[in-house]
Chain A
Amino acid sequence: MDTTTATLWLQNLNALVGGVFLLVSFGLVAIRQVQGCVRLFTALSVLLGLSAFLLSQIYATWDLVVMGVVDIGTKAMLIPWLLRRALPEEVYTRREVTQVMNIPTSLLVALGLAIIGYVFSKPLLGVSGGAGPAGVNLPIGFAGLLIGALTASVRREAVPLFLGLLAMENSAFLAGIGIAPEMPLIAEVSIALDVLILVFAVSILTRTVHQHIGTTEVGALVTLTEATKDESPS
């Protein structure tokens, strides 16, 4: 296999990873179960790592391999584990997540946002001067960013909302590694910050979810509400 064929394969595989990334982003808006949300987010992070590995082969740079490993290690393994540990089991067993809009409407809005992402990344691609892998990663990253914002705004449950924010971050990375593969410092610093924000957010999250259960699931958890009332009079 000569180099041009190999590059074509790598680019097509990268495009495939991008396509599945877009699909999983749509899934994050639509899926009803919190557990499924976490799984989709894990898939999203693994796809980002795969894209980094493929791009490291295309651009022949090792920084992206490191980035991919750090990404999969933190976002695909550490975050789901932390979320699993920090949150009570009840959050995962509940079936339906209330949404601001119904699911078909939010999917249609997400579709519009994806098209907007493609349209707006066209002039940006002209500036950064690249077809090739950037032509895949930038628009899909852009679209994922907007869809992540949508996820964060339509979801009412704490975990999917938080995962929407993290998905935005993932998409920004996907776009970033496409247009600027030679910027390892930014990548690593942001990942380190990411983990910091993550721990912080998870701690806040756990509290809000506990509060949430105390206020909304009254019918099922009568004793728990009384217990929290006794402990904290707020």
Chain B
Amino acid sequence: MWRKGRMRERILFNLLQVATVVFFAPLVSGVLNRLKEIVQSKRGPSILQPYRDLWKLFHKDEIVSAQSSWLFRFTPYVVFVAPIFVTLLIPVLTDYPLFFAFMGDMLGGGFVLALGGFFATVAAVDTGNPYGPVGASRTRMVGFLAEPVFMIVFFTVSFVAGSTIPYIVQQRWITPVANFFAPSHVLLLLAFLMLILAEGGRIPVDNPSGHFELAMIDESKSLEYSGRGFGLVKWGGAMRLFVLMCIFLNVLLAPWGLAHEQTWTAVLVAVPLILLKILCFILVLVVIESSLAKLRLFRIAEFLGAAFITSVAAMITRLFAF
């Protein structure tokens, strides 16, 4: 499959993949917010509102606390760039590995995403705002409870596929198609969905549209940011959710609809297809967010404990299969 003269195209496809994530990530959060408002019988803001917000933020002055160090100014760039690096590693548009695909595996991608989270946490503590450290420590709590689930999910996935490169993993679940219904696969999907809810700061764990500082988990880390820095942090957060959804949809759930041929038309057709898949996933997310209440802080341990049990059940049904 790897022909020599096609190297340039592979690099260009990889860059197109990054461009897709960068440009459509705000749209995804816009559609999600709009759909949530519609479910609540309200009209809601336009789906282009996140783009307008970003435009406005990038044209505003930035205020930086005199008490903060270089970390505070550096963090928005890390938060913005981390999901872009992960995008280079995962299948977004094509089902064959692109130029940077073997630069890192799923664990590597997880580390890069965690790096962004680490900087956001440290910057939140750095400001001296009392709510920043509260949110930061809560994020760490959710993070370290989610960590074992990530471990087990990756372990099971690599055990099934014999590899941790996402491009190779995705083919294993659907050849033959009956393998899609293997219990380890379905239980893994369930565990990973719970992980996305926890890591993305979605409803049973955290309320992304809440404005009450004491109840915030994810949002309170960016309270001190303004102007361009806040724009980068917001954009980075949207891209992070987009990337997590891509991993869930393209690697684990439904590796259909990706470009198979190495041509520009095939790859460009794959762009609306992935957006369509994400729209379907958003509908599920809206149902979850509209029908569940936010968990109390100490119930989050039980939620992620349930995710852990699900992932371990997936592992043992696979590991001890006779």
Binding site for B on A (CB under 8 A): 5, 8-9, 12-13, 15-16, 18-20, 22-23, 26-27, 30, 103-104, 107, 110-111, 114-115, 118-119, 122, 125, 131, 135-136, 139-140
Q: Which residues of A contact B305 (CB under 8 A)?
A: 30, 103-104, 107
A18 CB contact (under 8 Å) in B178, B301, B312, B317: B317
* Contact present for B178 and A26 (CB under 8 Å): no
**Given contact pairs A8-B176, A26-B309, A107-B305, A19 touches B321 in the complex (Cβ within 8 A):** no
**Given contact pairs A20-B183, A30-B302, A111-B312, A135 touches B322 in the complex (Cβ within 8 A):** yes
Q: Is the interface of B mostly helix, strand, loop or mixed?
A: helix
| Distance between Cα atoms of A176 and B143 in the complex (Å) | 42
Q: Which residues of B contact A13 (CB under 8 A)?
A: 181
| Distance between Cα atoms of A12 and B317 in the complex (Å) | 12
Q: Which residues of A contact B314 (CB under 8 A)?
A: 19
Q: Which residues of A contact B70 (CB under 8 A)?
A: none
Q: Which residue of A lies closest to B183 (CB)?
A: A19
| Distance between Cα atoms of A23 and B178 in the complex (Å) | 21
- Does B184 reach chain A (CB closer than 8 Å)? yes
Interface size on B, residues (CB 8 A): 24
- Does B2 reach chain A (CB closer than 8 Å)? no
* Contact present for B176 and A19 (CB under 8 Å): no
Q: Which residues of A contact B312 (CB under 8 A)?
A: 111
* Contact present for A12 and B178 (CB under 8 Å): yes
Closest CB in chain B relative to A63 CB, distance in Å: 24
**Given contact pairs A9-B178, A15-B182, A19-B183, A131 touches B322 in the complex (Cβ within 8 A):** yes
Closest CB in chain B relative to A135 CB, distance in Å: 3
* Contact present for B322 and A122 (CB under 8 Å): yes
| Distance between Cα atoms of A131 and B77 in the complex (Å) | 54
* Contact present for B322 and A19 (CB under 8 Å): no
- A-facing residues in B149-184 (Cβ within 8 Å): 176, 178-179, 181-184
B248-274 interface code vs A (CB 8 A; 1 in, 0 out): 000000000000000000000000000
| Distance between Cα atoms of A15 and B184 in the complex (Å) | 9
* Contact present for A139 and B320 (CB under 8 Å): yes
Q: Which residues of B contact A20 (CB under 8 A)?
A: 183, 186-187
| Distance between Cα atoms of A139 and B310 in the complex (Å) | 17
**Given contact pairs A12-B181, A12-B182, A139-B322, A23 touches B310 in the complex (Cβ within 8 A):** yes
* Contact present for B317 and A104 (CB under 8 Å): no
- Does B316 reach chain A (CB closer than 8 Å)? yes
Given A18-B183, A104-B302, A118-B320, 20 more A-B residue pairs with CB atoms under 8 Å apart are: A5-B176, A5-B178, A8-B178, A12-B181, A15-B182, A19-B186, A19-B187, A20-B183, A23-B309, A26-B309, A30-B306, A110-B309, A111-B312, A114-B316, A115-B316, A119-B320, A135-B322, A136-B321, A139-B320, A140-B317
- A-facing residues in B79-119 (Cβ within 8 Å): none
- A-facing residues in B164-210 (Cβ within 8 Å): 176, 178-179, 181-184, 186-187, 190
- Does B313 reach chain A (CB closer than 8 Å)? yes
* Contact present for A16 and B183 (CB under 8 Å): yes
Q: Which residues of B contact A114 (CB under 8 A)?
A: 313, 316
| Distance between Cα atoms of A67 and B181 in the complex (Å) | 24
Closest CB in chain A relative to B269 CB, distance in Å: 30
Closest CB in chain A relative to B103 CB, distance in Å: 34
Closest CB in chain A relative to B147 CB, distance in Å: 15
Closest CB in chain B relative to A128 CB, distance in Å: 11
Closest CB in chain A relative to B129 CB, distance in Å: 33
Q: Which residues of B contact A103 (CB under 8 A)?
A: 302, 305
Closest CB in chain A relative to B292 CB, distance in Å: 14
Q: Shortest 10 CB-CB distances between A and B: which pairs?
A: A19-B183, A135-B322, A118-B320, A12-B181, A9-B178, A12-B178, A8-B178, A16-B181, A15-B183, A16-B183
Q: Which residue of A lies closest to B317 (CB)?
A: A19
Q: Which residue of B lies closest to A23 (CB)?
A: B313
| Distance between Cα atoms of A12 and B179 in the complex (Å) | 7
